[in-house]
Structure 1
Amino acid sequence: MAKGRIGILTEFNYEDLELWYPYYRLREEGFETFTIGPDKGKTYNSKYGYPCKADEGIDNVKAEDLVGLIIPGGFAPDYWRRDKRILDLVRAMNDSGKMIASICHGPWVLISAKVINGKKVTCFQAIKDDVENAGAIYSDEAVVVDGNMITSRLPKDLPDFCKAMLSHLRRQ
């Protein structure tokens, strides 16, 4: 029996490691991990061309069915932050206090969902000004946990990112 469902966003130009590393790591721990794309069944290629088929479409996913949501980086967050359906899911996850884990450029989605103001976060250095301008408190650390929000900088931080997610989920 799975410990809970964790959705991981996928879209064109997602960062390979930032999707697949947590996908399998959390699955090893007994969570049901699955990918969420704009369209169920569509295959999205990563920055490096690795395909990811969306297990679910965003229209079929509700916050009440999840224990966590992972927002990988790459260039995909630039698409997700323009999709009202994804922003609505992020807001619903935040409103219910459920885990939102975001890495690299992923905090762009948190900015557009307007859930980052006052939160301590980290991100890829190139969007540091964006998170600060949105009212977040930037910290250059491998992983930052602020309540239900877990953020990380880049692929080399994935071990710490996954440890923080697992620690958070075990307390739930």
Structure 2
Amino acid sequence: MTDSLPLAGQKFLLFVGADYEDLELWYPKLRLEEAGAETTMAGLESNQTYLGKHGYPAESEATIESISSSDFQGVICAGGWMPDKLRRYEKVLSLLQEFHESEKLIAAICHGGWMPISAGIYQGVKVTGSPGIKDDLVNAGAIWEDAPVVVDRHFVCSRRPSDLPDFCRGILNVLLSK
């Protein structure tokens, strides 16, 4: 059974908050679980139901404040308007910095790149993201590429919901190459 569940025993963090992009949170969550991983959705409050931009509910299982990066093999930063709000919290930024220092997966799609930008971890990293944050990415020192997925070491980035199949393949490729 382990062969069919290549991520069994691994845990991944997904940030959640109001106005997250529905597909960009749920698709990677379910894909990781399909591969055997455990996922934790963390928001500013525990057991809080947040609505996505399209109205799909997601319940936080933990508070961001209670999270330790050492408990996870990676983090998913979904898009929507949520990243602009969450990047204002020091704990979000310190968690992303810790994931980066440990060379653990940091995956951001669409506007999710706002959080790694604010954490100061994109300097010299090849990325993509929503064209709406291209200038922010470039100004943060990232190397912009307009592609469905960009993988640079432990970073995986995509532009929009239609890139999700490529995004999740990129995530799995990074995780399975370690």
TM over 0.5: yes
Who is 1:171 aligned against? 177
Query: How far off its partner does 1:140 sit?
Result: 0.1
Q: C-alpha distance in 1, partners of 2:108/2:89? A: 17
- Residue 99 (structure 2) pairs with residue 89 (structure 1): no
Which of 130, 135, 157 does residue 163 from structure 2 map onto?
Answer: 157
Q: Structure 2 matches for 1:94-105, cutoff 5 A?
A: 94-105=100-111
Who is 1:40 aligned against? 46
Who is 1:124 aligned against? 130
* Structure 2 letter corresponding to 1:19: L
Query: How far off its partner does 1:39 sit?
Result: 1.2
- Residue 70 (structure 2) pairs with residue 71 (structure 1): no
String of CA shifts for 1:26-71, please: whole Å, max 9, x gaps. Answer: 1000010121111111111111111111011112211111001000
String of CA shifts for 1:84-126, please: whole Å, max 9, x gaps. Answer: 1111111110011000000000111111000001100000001
Q: C-alpha distance in 2, partners of 1:22/1:50? A: 15
SS in 2 for 1:34: strand
- Residue 74 (structure 2) pairs with residue 58 (structure 1): no
Q: C-alpha distance in 2, partners of 1:149/1:38? A: 24
- Residue 119 (structure 2) pairs with residue 113 (structure 1): yes
Who is 2:144 aligned against? 138
SS in 2 for 1:92: helix
Query: How far off its partner does 1:76 sit?
Result: 0.4
String of CA shifts for 1:108-160, please: whole Å, max 9, x gaps. Answer: 11110000011000000011011001111000000001111110000000000
SS in 2 for 1:105: helix
Who is 2:34 aligned against? 28
TM-score, normalised via structure 1 length: 0.97
Q: C-alpha distance in 2, partners of 1:91/1:43? A: 27
RMSD, matched Cα: 1.0
Query: How far off its partner does 1:3 sit?
Result: 2.9
Who is 1:13 aligned against? 19
